[in-house]
Structure 1
Amino acid sequence: MDIEAWMIRKLFRMNEGSQDQDCTSQGASFREKNDIIFTYRRVSSRSSATVMLEERPNTVHEVKMAVAKSLGECTDNIDVIDKATILETELSDSVTDDIVEVMIHRESRRVPKEKRTRKEDMFEGDMADGDRIEMSCGHAATPENIYRYCLTKLNSNDLGFKCMECSTIWDFAEIACKADMSEDESVFFTRKMSDVFIAESNDIRECPQCRSFCTRIDTNNKYVACQVCKENGRTSYSFCWECYRPGVHPHNCQHKHTQDVLDNCQRVTMQYSDIRGVPQVRACPKCELFIEHESGCKTMTCTKCHHVFCFSCLKSAVNGHLICGQYDSICTVAPVQKIGAKRNK
């Protein structure tokens, strides 16, 4: 092969290689332009983290996969949080619009060697897997069983963390320590416990405008002016202590707690599920705040205690999801409620 032919072939190969390289570069550039930046934050952290993804996660499982990829965690150790609720399958509207919060669980929970006991696990007896630790009441369990038991009660808005054997009340400090909680778990428990306490208190309300907590000095006055709104330069915001609607004196509260309102309200049809004959006014099954159904599906969230329930059959939701079917499914129509029945039991 002469020198001229050799040079021509070499130049051809160089050009061919550069074309391949350009194609590869263009392909990489194209993929980068289509990637999205997914932002999440751990419950215990004020700072957020990001991970590059080809598509934005649309389900809880997809969020877990993205966070697992970013942190090198197992998806089983990750929960997606909406305020103080653990989401199971679908993302709520507030989660899809904002930074997603996640809780990272312990992969394994340890018991210090000097605190291990041979006592039976109060939940599973000798069948319990792992070391056990003794609680202040004298009964024992594995840290994982302690944690799961208390988390189940917390998700049911029950703050009565009691020993399964003797019903002794455990305080949170002991639970957090002996369940070997992660920082995320501890913060989530604290947040959820605060929400449950506030929801059950008649002396604290959440301002419908700024979401700050308010108390009232005069318990006979149902018109409350939020001081946080005023201090932050917002228009002074007043609302009704009973129905949460903006209130200007004199305020005609549309949800006065009388049995007559429930007995004589109109019957409506649920738009999406076509359930007919549903009372237009219901009392929240948890706090008995009167709620009027104006439009939309049968899923209802109480503005006072944030309890989620079906407006038709009145069954409470589990982890934010109705147990009587999807928002557009048919279910039974519960009879007119009797207010005060819970208190009179």
Structure 2
Amino acid sequence: MRKTNFSLSSFKKEFYSHFFCKKHLLRDFFILLTTILFSGLIIASNYYSLSLKKKTPSFKNSTRSLSNSIPKEIILPEIKTLQETIDTTNWSEYQNRWYGFALKYPTGWQAPLVQKKSAGDRWIARYQFIYPNSPTESPFDGFNLTIYENSTNLTLFQTAEFSALKAISKENAVLCQNIQGHLLETGDYPAEEIYIGEENECYFPTLFFSINQGQYIYNLSPKLKTATNYNPEIDRRIELTNFFPEFFSVAANLRLIDIVRPKPIPPKPKITAPRPVSFEKDALGRLVCDKKNDKPSKSDKTKKKHLDMECCLDPDEYPNPHCYYDPKKYGKYL
């Protein structure tokens, strides 16, 4: 086997003579520059992807079952503190026996209005409580109590009070169909608070109270002024705390009561008998006998039984349902 003599000095000499030859200098410079730029681009791209992955969580992780960033251990004490600052002793009380609910609202407000239902509305009734002297800077001028039929075909997501879904992909929309984390059990009253903060990935901010019991769903929500340019991305809890803290006291006094409805009056039977041919009307507009000296006991009793056509009932006649017979005169023939 033949030995190969290798010298570092001879290698360097050959390397420099090949790559730094004036004849190939421009070509070699272009190759070297391209290699450096391409390598730098790959390294920068990998670094950016890695840093972005660390900083931006996946949509699935960012929703975290749609739970709010502010825990209920902080929210509930804040609500309780607000309630303690508002005296509801002299508030007006409203009871609705037809749908079975009662609440209190500040004295001086308008009497509750029944909003007319429009085509496409899912609710069956809505009562508006309006404060006519609401401050100019406040986006609210009262509250609504909206009632829905408690049906398996209707979920809380489909009620008008639930906030609108943000523009997201269909795949991510599936992850948003979970209300866990938004129902806050207050403990002091039957209504549950539904709160969505401004950081939510799925829905715009909202806050309202809901009772799902028996045959109805009752949603208590703040009422926005008609002409207000309200920003839908503002945290509703902060806005209510600043401009309408009474709303939480209204929710605290919302309760269900027994449903009491009047019994339906049966319709009067339709009269199919022919109207009498001879009669007069008394002071009450009733059809009565026009014979002043009518004596039914002396009438001919040999005739076959037939319908009275004069409102002067005889022993051989059936009472005409269109006529009124004085019980003192015709009582024993009725």
Normalising by the smaller structure, the TM-score range is under 0.3
Q: Which has the larger radius of gyration?
A: 2
TM-score for the superposition, normalised by structure 2: 0.24
Q: Taking CA–CA contacts closer than 8 Å with sequence separation of 6 or more, which of the two structures ends up with the larger relative contact order?
A: 2
Structure-1-length-normalised TM-score: 0.23
